[in-house]
Amino acid sequence: MPHLLNVWPAVSRRLASAPRVLLLFDYDGTLTPIVARPEIATLPEETRRSLTALAGMDRFVVGVVSGRGLADLEALVAVPGLVYAGNHGLEISGRGMEFVHPEAPAFEASLAEVAKSLERELAEVPGIVVDNKRLTLTVHFRGAPDRYAAQVDGTVAATAAPYVDAGKMKITRGKKVVEVRPNLDWGKGKAIEKIREDCGGSPLPVFFGDDQTDEDGFVVVQDAGGLAVYVGLTRQPTKALHQLESPAEVGLVLDLLARLDQP
């Protein structure tokens, strides 16, 4: 898996030759480092400036595709002219796109019940966050001592089990997070397909991500002839064919993209 910066001359020629490019990024762990609590994952100002510059160029359609709730994502990134896809693409907004998966709102009441139970069951675990994002639910335990990881995971699984067994919900896992999501055939890959379709003209898709929930996005992008970039150490298993090591390197690539047409 080549490091993107090592093959940048060839990649930049490919991007420069495309009439339009759809640039999509995960947020946590991709545009900004993973932190103990989700509310303190702030976007570096240099990254925000680069995203703003790219969004102002006719060549690019720029967006962020995240497991965060849509309003939270928009507030954290705060760049006009972007496409924002929250809750793993169950809700999308920006550049004339306004979408909520038609089946997702029916799960709100059940997710609220699960969240209330988890807040009670996990009240004694230090450093966790039960984040009810309305259309999905995430339990963050990055701030908890490692010895609680199995307890948190098991409690989430047990609490959601009646809904999972009934085929109504599913559990997904990431970097010290456990998620309860509607059991719908929808994720970041389907969201990327929809965004690309709504853009018109089949722009060349490029997607940067760092976690398990980004993998279906990598597949969709590469199947469409685009570029998928895994952000993390090379030893991690991924379907992406290119790699960067950190959000700091993503920032370097953003700067290079903003200067793509310069001699």
Outline which parts of the chain fall under CATH 3.30.70.1020. 104-182
pLDDT tens, position by position, 121-139: 999 999 999 999 999 999 9
Answer yes or no: is pLDDT of 202 > 90: yes
Within 128-246, residue ranges assigned H as helices are 149-165, 188-199, 215-223
Exposed, middle or buried by CB within 10 Å (0-12, 13-18, 19+), for 133? buried
For the chain, the average pLDDT equals 94
Closest CA to 247 of 229, 261, 235: 229
pLDDT in tens, 109-123: 999 999 999 999 999
pLDDT > 90 fraction of the chain, expressed in percent and rounded: 88
DSSP state of 203: P
pLDDT-above-70 percentage for the chain = 98
- Which ranges in the chain are annotated with CATH 3.40.50.1000? 4-101+186-258
Q: The tokens 């067994």 sit on which residue?
A: 165
Report how far residue 21's alpha carbon sits from residue 29's, in angstroms, rounded to the nearest whole number: 22
Confidence band for 40, pLDDT divided at 50, 70 and 90: confident
* Nearest in space to 81 (alpha carbons), one of 64, 101, 65, 100: 64
Mean pLDDT calculated for residue range 178-196: 97
Condensed to tens digits (0 to 9), the pLDDT of residues 42-92 reads 899 999 999 999 999 999 999 999 999 999 999 999 999 999 999 999 999
Name the CATH superfamily, with its identifier, for domain 4-101+186-258.
Answer: HAD superfamily/HAD-like (3.40.50.1000)
Query: Which CATH number is associated with domain 104-182?
Result: 3.30.70.1020
pLDDT at residue 260, as a whole number = 84
What's the pTM?
0.93
End-to-end, the C-alpha distance of the chain in Å comes to: 28
Angle between helices 188-199 and 215-223 (to 10 degrees): 40
- 239 pLDDT higher than 80: yes
Q: Which residues are catalytic?
A: 26
140-144, 155-159, 246-250: the lowest-pLDDT one = 140-144
C-alpha Rg value of the chain to the nearest Å: 18
Q: Which two tokens stand for residue 247?
A: 């959000």
Residue 198 is predicted with a pLDDT of 95
Residues 140 and 132 sit within 8 Å (Cβ to Cβ):
no
Model pLDDT, residue 262: 62
Cβ contacts of 11-14, under 8 Å, gap ≥ 24? 11/227, 11/242, 12/256, 12/260, 14/204, 14/227
Tokens encoding 178: 């456990």
pLDDT at position 34, please?
A: 79
**Confidence grade of residue 207 (pLDDT, cut at 50, 70, 90):** very high
User: Per-residue confidence at 234, pLDDT binned at 50, 70, 90?
Assistant: confident
Give the pLDDT mean for 148-152.
95
191 close to 88: Cβ distance less than 8 angstroms: yes
> Where residue 263 falls among pLDDT bands split at 50, 70, 90?
low
DSSP, residue by residue, 238-262: -S-SEEESSHHHHHHHHHHHHTTT-
